[in-house]
Amino acid sequence: MAASPTQIADLTWYDFVERVKANPIVFLPIGSVEQHGPHLPLATDTLLPQALATAVAERVGGLVAPPVAYGYKSQPKSGGGNHFPGTLSLDANVLIGLVRNIVNELVRHGVRRIVLFDGHMENQWFLVEAADLALRDQAMLGRDDVKIIKLGYWEFITKATEQVLFPDGFPSWELEHAAVMETSVMLHVRPDLVRSALIPDGPAAAFPPYDVYPFDTGPIPDTGVLSSAAAASAQKGEVVLAQVVPDIAAALREAFGPE
């Protein structure tokens, strides 16, 4: 089987050296090991950003680093909660240090344009900290030509695509955990991992506008899915990729500028 031209893990170090000479955009997918109901795998938040980052990399001549497969603790209002079996999470300082370390290693080997491609909502502020600290590290070494972009792919979904996904109304991205969008994209990119017969169809979770610790798990559906996934389809997943991938590619070309 031929090595993928986009996956760093598939390259030899000789290949890597040659590819980095062209100053490619390097994508670091960052996900989680988190419950996604009875119908989606624990690796959903890693599989989706890896698939989307690969599709975008193919458009911009980029490279995709091996993903960070663990993420910050699942939160009850956006992921069901860290108490669900199989949810294996990192403390904030561990995630920050890990991503900072990987960014510094990429830069050490000549990479200057990096995308932190997030697939797990709870990661986002810790990726900001990792990027900030890595840039500080590089500044201390006299490198001022490094640019890092952090994004969550769901933030690129347009109102028109939302209407396709949610013709009866959009619940919120927090309540969309393991629901229509993620299930649809998984049905499109990895249908072999979706237990279609177990897709849940229950009412959306209702949370108060504040948090109490220890958290009251009562409002969380037993499935861990925060709103119905019954309307998911592979066709909707295809629509998401058809819109999001070129839009992310265009945004990155503009943000990074010429090579």
CA gap 6, 24 in Å, rounded: 10
Phi/psi for 117 (5° steps) reads: -100, 95
Q: Are 245 and 52 contacting, i.e. CB atoms less than 8 angstroms apart? A: yes
Q: Could you say which of 118, 176, 177, 188 is catalytic? A: 177
Q: Give catalytic status of residue 105 as yes or no.
A: no
Please check whether residue 232 is in contact with residue 184, taking contact to mean a CB–CB distance below 8 angstroms.
yes
Q: Of 63, 61, 37, which is closest to residue 186 (Cα–Cα)?
A: 37
Residue 109 designated active-site: no
Residue 39 falls in the annotated catalytic set = no
Q: Which of 36, 39, 118, 176 is catalytic?
A: 36
Options 39, 118, 176, 182, the catalytic residue: 182
Considering 10, 15, 18, 34, which one is annotated as catalytic? Answer: 34
Q: What is the CA radius of gyration of the chain?
A: 19
Does 45 qualify as catalytic in the annotation?
A: yes
- 83 given a catalytic annotation: no
Which of 39, 120, 176, 188 is an active site residue? Answer: 120
* Close Cβ partners of 151 (under 8 Å, ≥ 6 residues apart): 115, 116, 117, 118, 248
Catalytic residue among 39, 45, 118, 188: 45
Q: What are phi and psi of 16, to 5 degrees?
A: -60, -45
Active site (annotated) includes residue 182: yes
What are the residue numbers of the active site? Answer: 34, 36, 45, 120, 122, 177, 182
